[in-house]
Each structure stands twice: as structure tokens, then as C-alpha cells.
A and B are shown apart, each in its own frame.
Chain A
Amino acid sequence: MVNLTINGQAVQVENSFTILQAAEQMGISLPTFCHDKRLTGHGACRICVVEVKGARSLMTACTVPVSEGMMVETHSPSVIEARKEILRLMIENHPLDCLTCAKAGACKLQDYCFEYDVKEGGYQGAKKNYPIDDSNPFFYLDRNKCILCGRCVRVDNELQCTGAINYNQRGFNTHIGIPYERDFEASTCVSCGNCVSACPVGALMPKSDVKFRQWEVRTVKTTCAYCGVGCQLELKVKGNKVVGAEPVETEPNDGLLCVKGKFGYRFLDHPDRLKTPLIRKDGKLAEASWEEAYRTIAGKMLEIKEQHGPDAMGTFTSARCTNEENYLMQKLFRAVAGTNNVDHCARL
């Protein structure tokens, strides 16, 4: 364990901790753009800078390991001024279209500018002017809003391990892109959207057929309904409509999803959804009430049981339904119908 002092308060932390982790342990929140706790510290955005007594300059809390006797100030005047300057440099070259930006309300740049009271850059420098890459059917990349924190690149290359995106060019011309300046559709991208989930600003954004404000949605944590990995995700819900999905950083997916988990919820309110029971009448399926449907099914089950015995009935339950539903279905057939003709598609 290591002893250090943060903002005049003594604290003891694990040897392996960074200043950022030590501050977090004390409940002190530091701003971060590039930091991702699943990855090693990057120190790209500099917004987490802190003052370390005896150090020549401010240090990035996300990369600097703690050491015995270290004295740290996280919100001293020089730290505050440095963070303001970083934010000014960022918004100097960032479209200030928060009024219409879909990320507003969930944008870290917006939040920190509010927190540090930064309204404008004030440099009148050169501006980025990149075309928007909307070649992917699920998301778009607006490089003009990118702050080059690099989280998307690292999530793609180190966690998703697809390696579709990286930095192109150098210096002021640095931008996130596909090799040879191709678009997403012409790349190795698998549309997992993990870069989109990682973007702290409005540069990588899901395409949406509904407009919504981030503060209009509530989130519901649930389990993905596609394959057997069981990824944890948060559905974003506006009114009675699911409008987005975000991965949760927990077992088993640890903040990753695939294209179906991230974007595949869109079948939910498809007009083809079955909305009422149907009963075949004169060879055609016709709308019916629940009462009629239950009466018809129950009548048939009792009739067949009576005439042919319980083993003339069977059920295919579902690997798509919940445990509770599978349990009840086999209970219905075993306890009520009286047969063990219960199976599902485990073999298929």
C-alpha cells in the first residue's frame, strides 16, 4: 500500500494505482475524455491534469502512478486554468451547435465547459472541415466534432480487436479514419458500434430514425436477446420506444457489444409485430379475443387427452424465452397435460 495526500487529505491506496484511481477512491471526480478503465492510461486529452508537489509541470492523473508521500492538488488555481485552456483549445475548433446536436446532454465536452465556465475558444484559428462519413447503415462519423481523445481507436484496436480505424495524418491534420482515407463501408469494420459507445462527444453517433434529447430517455439494464454470450446492455427508452442501446461494463461483456446487440433492437416496434390472437377460420387466420383463443386451445387439449391420451400432445418450448417461461411451459405439459413430450431447439 502507498500513502499519499490528495487535497490535504491523507489516503492509503494499492501500489498499482494511478493518481486518478486514488482520487476516485476518495470520491473526488476528475474530468476525463480519453480515459477508459479497461485500458492502460493514455494521457492524450490532458484534461485530468493535477498538481503534484515538486513536479516541474502539471501531470496527467490517468497515467501517473502514486508514490509514497506524494502531495496532490486536483483543483488548485493552476489546475483549473490549465483545464480551461484545454477546453478553450478544444471548442475553438468544434462546431458549437449544441442546440441541435443529438449528443447534447450526454456530451463530456459540453459538461466540462459548463463545469469550468468556458464559452468560447477565442483564438480565431483554422477550422476543420471534414465531410461526414455516413456510409455505415448504423452510425456516422463527424470528424469536425472529434476531439482526438483516441478512445474509439483504442477500443477498436485493443478491445474489439478489429482494427478498422486509426489516426490518419499528423499534427493539425490528424483525424480518425480508415486506412487510405476510405469510408467505413470499405473497411474491415464489423459495425459493432463499440467505438460509437466509447465516443465522449458527438463525433461517432448512432443513426436514429427518431429525434430525442438525451434527458428525455430513461435507461433499463437488461440482457441481450440474440446469442448465448448474454451481454449486459442498457436500453434507452423514450416514451414507449427503445431508441438506443449502450453496453454495460460488467460481466460477461465488459462494455462490448456486437452489431446485433447494439443496433438489433429495432425490430421491436416493427409494424409486422403480432398484436392480437389469431384463430384459423375457414382456412384463414382471423383476429380473435384472448378468451376465445384460450377456450379453443384448452378445449382441444382436453379433447385430445380424452381421446388419444396425453402423449398425443407435445410442445417445443423456446431457447429465446426466459427461464421462467420455459419452466412454466414444461410445467404446463408435464403437470397439466400429463406428458413429457417437451423439447426445444437445443439441437438445432
Chain B
Amino acid sequence: MTNSINELIDADTILIIGSNTTENHPVIGAKIRQAIGKGAKLIVAEPREIELAKEADVFLQIRPGSNVALLNGMMHVILAEGWQDKAFIEERTEGFETLERVVKAYTPERAAQLCGVKAEDIVAAARLYAKADKASIIYCMGITQHSNGVGNVMSVSNLAMLCGQLGKASSGVNPLRGQNNVQGACDMGALPATLPGYQPVSKPEVIAKFEQAWNTRLSAKAGLTVPEMMDAACRGDIKFLYIMGENPMVSDPDTAHVRHALTHTDFLVVQDIFLTETAELADVVLPAAAFAEKDGTFSNTERRVQRVRKAVEAPGSAKPDWVIIMELMNALGYKSMYRDPSEIFDEIASLTPSYAGMSYERLEECGIQWPCPDKAHPGTSYLHKGAFSRGKGLFKGVEHQEPVEPTDEQYPFALTTGRVLYHYHTRTMTKRVKGLEAKVPESYLEISPSAAAELGVKDGDMLKVSSRRGEISIKAKVTDRVSGNVVFIPFHFAEAAANVLTNSALDPNCKTPELKVCAVAVKK
């Protein structure tokens, strides 16, 4: 997030696009409702009628994969009406002309047709966003998990810059991170092309700095992303894979492909707290401590680094992941000695400029938001005040692009996926909590009343859902949360798994798979 969670409460307009906030980030959902209670206007753009859609001033039930068309349509209206922030564009941005050129073609009528919504609603949304003093955009995987995910994100940024809604409180572009420490994992260099603090492996001075600190030689060649490693494993190019705390057999697209990849590696190590579907395929399984059994830090979606503290002992001989990795480093002949995680954190702070001012001592009372470059720095509640990290904000004209797999006669339904309130990701934890499992015990397919009527399907009927990659049996849930030919499956369940069906087609730039839309057939 460019801004902070609690700044949302003071926003005048909130635009939610591609985020089912009350179910996936429930406490942020509550804060958005607090903002509505204080008079904030709400725009929701989603293929499904999520809870917050009912409270929205404008609800745009867009076709999956039409985010860019919608945002371009809104920007077209804003420019046509002259609602843009001319001073901000002049002083803080460049490339405005390219944006202007592209959005010119997206009249509200054309955008409405591409999105499957009414033109006047696009105009109303544009007005609410552009006329607000403080407007905040929230997005999530509904924006990123598309073959044009990068284009979607750029369009969101274009809209915010066009209206000068960056670099001040209660505004900004606010992606919500789905996992407790996905922000931190990225910050820590758990990415193929960047070392901790997003320092690129391609820069010789960065490599030199880490080679000196770690007393070793480092590769300057960018590594492979998760989907690329899967493909490489299928080809036999990845022979050893070490998976820590992930369950790609349920979470990743196209399960058959994932199984093929994991069973084709010569040696698979899985480190987890339960014997997951992925761990079942491993050559070695290492038992890890859960969050309440170890010390450390997580970095949340608003860049706040917060302490994790040990409350109980891990079961059996399970060990904290950091201990396991440290001991393995030593077994490999690389001397590594940390008495506790605070010493690892100090090493992180010494090498990561945005964490440089932090220490366990400073984090004791309350978390600190990065960047925090020195010991006296209080942390940063919102980014881009006065200037962007690259200097001027760059507008990029983005064209609408249809999903990789459009619906057709054979596969006439558009499948989208997501989470539900009562489960988490691949359910390894939540299926073992009685009440949570009782609330949502099995998978289901949300199907619109009109589509159900056409197929002669009743609520609770068992259906066969198939895509070009696989088929599952699943229970029908007839609901007007979805409309027309859009269907939805929560991806949590290994039984009737949505990801047997989903498409592993990637965004060419960021390699995110198009999990949010693929074509399926539904049969009774």
C-alpha cells in the first residue's frame, strides 16, 4: 500500500477494484465501513456482487478481465470533463500525452460495452473519484492475476496520478497483500531478480556489497519465477526443489501441470507444519514451527514491520524455519551462527536500506513502516510525498486486452476464483479448526439463476465443470452474486479444486498466472 490502513477511515471516496475486502481482509473491510459511516463514497468494481457492493454508491459488475477498459473509460470521462489535477500532472508526472491518446478511444459507451455495465455508471464512478478531495484505490488479486496484470496495475496508477491522488494522506494506490508476510518475503529478496530491499542482482555494486557481507561469490544472473521453475522442472532442468511453507498442489494454476513438475524433480524437499498435498510428493519432509512457536517479524500490507513472538513450544522435534535453514547452511559447510532471530534482523537492517533504522528494540512497542532509513526515523505512513522513487510519475497508455482464453461454444462460462471468509488459502490450517470447517465444509460453484435455469440446475445439484486442463465434480450454489455466464469457485479445497481448471497462462512481464479468468463448461 502506498498509504496506511487507518488513513482509509478519513478518505472521501474509496474505489475498490478486484478485491473482496470484507472476506479476504476483514479488518480493512470494517475500516472501509467505518469510512462509509463517516460519509465516504464507495465505488466497487467486481465481477461478483460482493458484500460491499450492496453498500456502494456505484457498483460496476464488470466482466472478468475488463479492468483496463473500465479504468480507461473513467479516465476518458475525467479528461472530457476537465476533472483531472492539472497541477499534479504538470509538476509530478510525465508521459501524459500517451495516456491521453489511448483513453481517447474509450468513450463511456465503448467501455460500458467491453465491461458489461452501464455507461452512466462509469460516468458516475469517474465523477465520485475525480471530485473527491481524498480518494483511495484498493485493489487485490482481481487486478493482478490476469495475463495483463501489469497493464491493470498501470491503469490503476494512471487514474490515481491523473487526479493527483498520490503522495498525501488517505489517498493512494493500495494493493492488499493476501498473506501475512508476502510483503516481507518480497522485501527480503525472496524474488529471482532482487536481493533484500529490491536491490537488483543485475547491478555489479549490489553483488559486490552482498558478496562482501556474505563472504562468498554470487550469481548476477536473474533466477526463475515459480511458474518458470515449474516449467523448468517439467523439462528436467530443475533437479532439486526446496519448498518452504507453500502448497502449490492446491494454490497454483493447472494442478496436473504442477504435479508433473514436482514429480519430475530429482529431489523435492518440503518444509511445513502439516503434511500438505505438496509434502506428500516430497523426498524429505521437514517439520516446522508455526507462528506461535517462534520469534521473528512479519511485514504487513501497509509496510509495517511487526514482531512475532513465541508463545508455546513446537510439537515433537519440529523446529523454527530459521533454525532449520541455519543448521542446513552449516551442514553444507557455510558457517552460520545466529543465537536468535534478532541477530538475523540486525543483518537484514545492515543490508536493506528501507529497514536500516529498525531493530527488535525499536519494534518492541509498535511496528514501524518502511522506509525507515535510520535509527531516528519514525517510519513512513504514506509514500511518494513530493516525489516518486523514479522522480516523475510515468503515465503509460494501456489498451484493453481480452483474456487469453475467451469463452466459446465448447467452454461457454467464464470461471473466476477467490477466497471465502472462513478459510485461508489451501486450508491446511483452517480445515483443522472445527468451527471454520463447519461454516464452509466443502467447495461449491456459484452460478447465476439465469444460467442455472438454462441448464436445469437446482441449488445443491452435483455438476461437472471442465476446462481444457481438467474436470471436477462440484456442488451448485445458485446465487445472484454472479450474473450471466460468470461462475465462481473458492480455490481453497483440494477436493473439487478450482486450480484443476485454471489457466497457467502468464503475464509476460511479471509472470503472474491468469487465475482470475478461464473458460469452462458446466454440465449436470
Contacts and interface: CB of A to CB of B under 8 A. Distances in A.
Interface of A: 136-138, 158-162, 190-192, 220-232, 235, 237, 240-242, 250-254, 256-261, 263-270, 272-280, 285, 288, 290, 293-298, 300-302, 304, 308, 310-336, 338-348
A293 B286 contact: yes
B180 interface: yes
Contacts of B344: 324, 327-328
Contact of B243 (A137, A259, A315): A315
Interface of B: 4-6, 22, 24-28, 30, 33-34, 36-37, 144-145, 176-193, 195-196, 201, 210, 214, 216-219, 221-227, 229, 232, 237-246, 248, 251-252, 266-267, 269, 272-275, 279-280, 282-288, 290-294, 296-302, 304-313, 315-322, 325-329, 331-332, 334, 336, 341, 344-345, 347-348, 366-367, 421-422, 424, 428-430, 432-436, 438-439, 510-513, 515
Contact of A347 (B226, B296, B299, B436): B226
A330 B201 CA distance: 12
Contacts of B267: 300, 304
Contact of A229 (B186, B221, B301, B331): B301
B421 A190 contact: yes
A194 to B, nearest CB: 8
A327 B145 CA distance: 26
A229 B195 contact: no
Nearest to A158: B37
Contact of B181 (A261, A319, A339): A319
A322 B201 CA distance: 22
A152 to B, nearest CB: 15
B296 A339 contact: no
Contact of B246 (A250, A267, A344): A344
A230 B511 contact: no
A275 B293 CA distance: 13
5 contacts: A222-B308, A322-B322, A340-B221, A342-B189, A347-B513
A256 B287 contact: no
Contact of B341 (A266, A272, A315, A324): A324
Contacts of A296: 283-284
Contacts of A343: 190-192, 223-226, 229
B179 A345 contact: yes
B181 A220 contact: no
B244 A325 contact: yes
Contact of B331 (A159, A220, A295, A317): A295
A191 B439 contact: yes
Contact of B251 (A294, A328, A348): A348
A297 B294 CA distance: 23
Residue picked from A312, A332, A342, A348, most chain B C-beta under 10 Å: A348
Given A229-B300, A252-B302, A336-B334, A257 B239 contact: no
A253 B27 contact: yes
Given A228-B179, A320-B180, A235 B292 contact: yes
Contacts of A137: 434-435, 438-439
Contacts of A295: 331
B244 A316 contact: yes
Contacts of B325: 325, 328-329, 332
Residue picked from B24, B325, B328, most chain A C-beta under 10 Å: B325
Contacts of B317: 275-277, 290
Contacts of B246: 316, 318-320, 344-345
A317 B196 CA distance: 13
Contact of B434 (A221, A266, A280): A266
A81 B331 CA distance: 72
A234 to B, nearest CB: 9
Contacts of B332: 298, 301-302, 332, 336
Contact of B178 (A227, A254, A258, A261): A227
A325 B5 CA distance: 26
A273 B274 contact: yes
Contacts of B201: 340
Given A222-B291, A312-B237, 6 more contacts: A252-B5, A277-B317, A313-B240, A318-B321, A320-B181, A322-B341
A312 B183 CA distance: 27
B221 to A, nearest CB: 6
A309 B300 CA distance: 36
Contacts of B432: 266-267, 270, 272
B215 to A, nearest CB: 8
B241 to A, nearest CB: 6
A226 B434 CA distance: 17
Contact of A274 (B273, B308, B438): B273
A332 B238 CA distance: 17
B226 A344 contact: yes
Given A220-B309, A341-B223, A161 B185 contact: no
B145 to A, nearest CB: 8
B180 A225 contact: yes
Contact of A257 (B27, B34, B187, B226): B27
A86 B182 CA distance: 51
A138 B438 CA distance: 10
Nearest to B342: A324
Given A227-B178, A242-B311, A328 B322 contact: yes
Contact of B177 (A191, A228, A332): A228
Nearest to A252: B5
A274 B435 contact: no
B308 A346 contact: no
Contact of B192 (A235, A258, A321, A342): A342
Contacts of A220: 292, 309-311
Residue picked from B25, B180, B291, most chain A C-beta under 10 Å: B180
